[in-house]
């Protein structure tokens, strides 16, 4: 789950959440770790919230998604530092877009239907 200050900034972590982590990859010579988090809102009148997480050796981001899947809010921290800083969406958009594309592709792979198996022929029936 996100650190408590991220939860406070996003008004998330209102209950148990679910986390899905992708295997680490190397992009542009940097090791990248990604996760998607389904979190309860702290406000019972709001739906669960979806967050994307991205971390490299030098920086980390949490992105709060809006109901339509676009960027609602973002926070940034230098890796190893304790302070998460809110950043404007215009600044965060260039970091968010590749993450959204990555997760969309990952979900599409999982959601791709396997070819239906042929039904076994009924023996002795015509």
**Within 13 A of 116's CA, how many CA atoms are on the CB side?**
3
pTM: 0.80
Tens of pLDDT, residue by residue over 38-48, are 988 877 777 78
Question: Which of 5-9, 25-29, 40-44 is predicted least confidently?
Answer: 40-44
Question: In this model, does residue 121 exceed pLDDT 80?
Answer: no
Nearest Cα neighbor of 61 from 86, 38, 25 is 86
Burial class (CB in 10 A: 0-12, 13-18, 19+), 93: middle
* CA 84 – CA 57 distance, rounded (Å): 16
pLDDT digits (tens, 9 = 90+) for 29-68: 999 999 999 988 877 777 788 999 999 999 999 999 998 9
């Amino acid at each position: 789950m996100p650190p408590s200050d991220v939860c406070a900034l996003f008004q998330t972590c209102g209950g148990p959440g679910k986390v899905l982590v992708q295997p680490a990859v190397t992009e542009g010579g940097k090791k990248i770790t990604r996760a998607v988090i389904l979190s309860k809102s702290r406000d019972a009148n709001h739906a669960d919230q979806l967050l994307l997480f991205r971390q490299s050796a030098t920086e980390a981001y949490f992105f709060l998604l809006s109901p339509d899947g676009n960027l609602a809010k973002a926070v940034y921290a230098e890796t190893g530092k304790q302070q998460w800083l809110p950043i404007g969406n215009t600044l965060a958009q260039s970091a968010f877009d590749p993450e959204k594309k990555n997760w969309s592709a990952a979900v599409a792979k999982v959601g791709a239907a396997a070819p239906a198996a042929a039904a076994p022929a009924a023996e002795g029936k015509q």
